[in-house]
A and B are shown apart, each in its own frame.
With several copies, the nearest count.
Chain A
Amino acid sequence: MTVTSQPAAVVDSSSDVGAASGPVVDLAIELAGVRLPTPVMTASGCAAAGRELAPFLDVAAIGAVVTKSVRLDPRSGRATPRMVETPSGMLNSIGLQGPGIDAFLATDLPWLVSHGARAVVSIAGGSLGEYAELGRRVGSSPGVAAVEVNISCPNVENRGLVFACDPFQAARAVSAARRGIPRDVPVLAKLSPDVTDLVSIADSVMEAGATGLTLINTTLGLAIDHDTMRPVLAGTTGGLSGPAIRPLAVRCVWQVHQAMPDVPIVGVGGVRTGRDAFEFLLAGATAVQVGTVVFHDPSAPHRVANELQVALAARGLRSPAEAVGLAHQPRPRPEGTDD
């Protein structure tokens, strides 16, 4: 399973020609204190624990591998069907199927470490106690580049309400996880867009000890089968992802960066090409993740980084960092006004 692959799928860099004449772009970035060779990572739940992507890219060369959110105990996940294709996206309702934290730390994490990948471990709990325990276990494991706290989970102790939808509960989950994680391991809180006031949630998880934010998790959707006339997904609703939601994700990054320009943000939602990644940087993200598009093109985290390099060079930028938040600068005057 270590065969190198041919160049792949989607390329969309028509206006990026002439890049050869641009500056030499070093793609390396620093995210919340961690150095990554490129700003393009996988997204949680869209790369398993990295191993299956090895035939399609070099896991050591991409920004990082963000692993599927792991729960404390093994989980079977939901019944099938677990996905529906939707226009330029998909709905999923996997139900966090996984081996549980012990098996993950015993098998998956060492594989990533031994293959030279930066492992960003995503954890998900159903209660504050679980977040705390997961934080402790992951925090005491060597080789973790960063921890991502997925708080888009129902809180069994609070009528099943999703942690991410309430600033107070969101903060408590992040703070519970944070406690067991060494200071020098960054903690990214991953937020849901399905809230009235994202900035207030962002604010409260930062207060609770997060080092940065991952924006965004999927947005809640539903599809109905025309033939059975019932919801397609066994879990009824599912998370909407893919290019369809990119404008939503870019807006979330924009709003949070606008309100808190110093907070490191990892942008995720519909990244398909290097130009999409560039758009997230311009909105204020330091790094990006590729989720659904990996299903379309498993080499995407590698390809997107290459395309981003071309896009940066074509615009005279020498590093991803130079692009971060640029779109917030005042607009040049509209064409046609000449004074």
Chain B
Amino acid sequence: MSTGPLQLRGRVLKLDRVGDYQHLTLVAPGVAERTRPGAFVALAVGGDHSATLLRRAFSIYRAKASGVYGGTVEIVFAVHGPGTAWLADRRPHDEIDVIGPLGRPFALPKEPVPCVLVGGGYGSAPLFGLADRLRERGCSVHMVLGAASESRLFGTVQAKRSAQSVVVTTEDGSVGTPGRATDVLPDLLARTNAAVVYACGPMGMLSAIAALAEQHGVWSQCAVEEQMACGVGVCMTCVLPVRGDDGVVRMVRSCVEGPVFRGDRVLWADAGTIPAGTLGAPRVGGHA
């Protein structure tokens, strides 16, 4: 009943600038109730006569089941192209067609184990809700927030409330430890005795984290960001090579079977290709 995505006309409640990002709060009754950390929304952009037809996907940062205005969902985004530029130009009361929540959320540990959460740039957005859930289950939570520079970090203050420990890294050293999130990870995994690492950020970061997790014998849960045309599983654009329980590699849709994957199941180095041996791997190609 309270599963499955909704499609509805959301209404802009607030739009604030946070560093290099926009923080958008949408009134979207019903979505919050169904949201679990790691899920995303797909927003239509550009209005009724839009030349940009494809929906844009955004991790859900926060979801509140009720409130003065009815349930809300919040996202954090960077202006990148026409779709995000349009979103950044919305005003309170404007309508946005929302579909959500979508995708498979982060899997939660059954035991109260130590967890490390790593967010790259706006990739930290879905980690705060996750941290809450983990703490509810008695897990200890340690966070790493990494970005190219200070203005590209999101949620450092909030992280201090959400986690037992927080490490911030920036590549330009403008704040925190200079370097990448993955530089500080081995130490942290060892120090916290982590059982699971959760990660959301660019593919390169996820790939490195999945490898480190394996080296340390730690489970990893990685939220990927593949290009998506529909977000709901009907177009087959968002695929990625993933090894199944049966050992077979398949091109799987990251919108419905992800965006969160077990890090050890994704063939990171082969993303963007059809690795040899994949189910139904290429022969002479047909255009469609």
Binding site for B on A (CB under 8 A): 1-3, 5-12, 14, 45-48, 52-53, 55-56, 68-69, 71, 73-83, 85, 87-90, 92-98, 100, 124, 126, 150, 152-154, 156, 160, 162, 220, 234-235, 237-239, 242-243, 292-299, 334-338
Contact = CB atoms under 8 A, between A and B. Distances in A.
B273 A79 contact: yes
Contacts of A52: 232-234, 256
Given A6-B9, A154-B286, A82 B236 contact: yes
A89 B53 CA distance: 7
A76 B97 contact: no
Contact of A10 (B1, B48, B230): B48
B81 interface: yes
Interface stretch (B69-77, B106-114, B127-135, B264-272): B264-272
Contacts of B48: 9-12
Interface of B: 1, 3-9, 44, 48-55, 81, 97, 99, 203-204, 207, 226-227, 229-230, 232-240, 250-251, 256, 268-274, 278-282, 284-288
B280 A5 contact: no
A76 B53 contact: no
Contact of B280 (A3, A75, A162): A75
Nearest to B29: A6
A55 B3 CA distance: 10
A73 B269 contact: no
B272 A336 contact: yes
Contacts of A76: 250-251, 274, 278-282
Contacts of B280: 73-77, 97-98, 100
A298 B6 contact: no
B6 A77 contact: no
Given A93-B287, A124-B288, A152-B288, A296 B3 contact: no
8 contacts: A8-B9, A52-B232, A80-B227, A80-B271, A95-B286, A97-B239, A154-B286, A335-B204
Contacts of B51: 87-88, 243
Nearest to B2: A3
B39 to A, nearest CB: 14
A80 B7 CA distance: 27
A294 B230 contact: yes
A294 B234 contact: yes
Nearest to B102: A55
B273 A243 contact: no
Most chain A CB within a 10 A radius of its CB, from B1, B53, B288: B288
A297 B44 contact: yes
A150 B288 CA distance: 9
Contact of A95 (B250, B268, B285): B285
Contacts of A299: 7
Given A96-B286, A336-B270, A9 B232 contact: no
A82 to B, nearest CB: 5
Given A3-B3, A77-B251, A296-B50, 18 more contacts: A9-B97, A55-B4, A68-B236, A78-B285, A79-B272, A80-B239, A80-B271, A88-B53, A93-B287, A95-B288, A124-B286, A154-B286, A234-B272, A239-B287, A296-B55, A334-B273, A336-B270, A337-B273
Contacts, number: 206
A337 B49 CA distance: 35
Contact of A156 (B5, B6, B232, B284): B284
Nearest to A49: B234
A26 B235 CA distance: 31
Contacts of B49: 12, 87
A334 B272 contact: yes
Q: Please give me the 4 A-B residue pairs with the lowest Cβ-Cβ distance, nearest first.
A: A74-B280, A6-B8, A52-B233, A334-B272
Nearest to A55: B4
Given A52-B232, A295-B234, A80 B288 contact: no
Contacts of B99: 56, 298
A1 B4 contact: yes
Contacts of A77: 236, 239, 251, 274, 280
A294 to B, nearest CB: 6
Nearest to B275: A76
A56 to B, nearest CB: 5
B268 to A, nearest CB: 6
B144 to A, nearest CB: 22
A92 B52 CA distance: 15
A237 B287 contact: yes
Nearest to A335: B272
Contacts of A296: 44, 50, 53-55
Given A97-B236, A237-B287, A1 B251 contact: no
Nearest to A92: B237
A235 B285 contact: yes
Contacts of B232: 52-53, 55-56, 298
